[in-house]
Amino acid sequence: MVKRLAFFGEYTGCAFQIADDLLDFVGEAERTGKKVGNDLINGKITLPLIHAFRKSQARTKKSIIKILENGVEQKGFDTVLDFIQD
């Protein structure tokens, strides 16, 4: 029983984190309680960005990495958001 509860907790935590990562890009601040892009602006690399990197070409990755290294402002966030959505 304890093992089952541990698995349940682990998978629930993973599901919560995935939802939180997605909401950082598409959520509404009024509903989520945090500004869209907050994680990215604070330097946190989340699952949607990791997935986009896996699917992108080297040239595109380099331009996104440059934005991330220089600190993400609103314009940079919009570029990264477009990258993830593509």
The whole-number pLDDT of residue 42 equals 85
Tokens 């093992």 identify what position? 3
Rounded Cα–Cα distance for residues 13 and 6 (Å): 11
The whole-number pLDDT of residue 78 equals 87
Q: Give mean pLDDT, residues 2-7.
A: 93
Rounded Cα–Cα distance for residues 58 and 68 (Å): 15
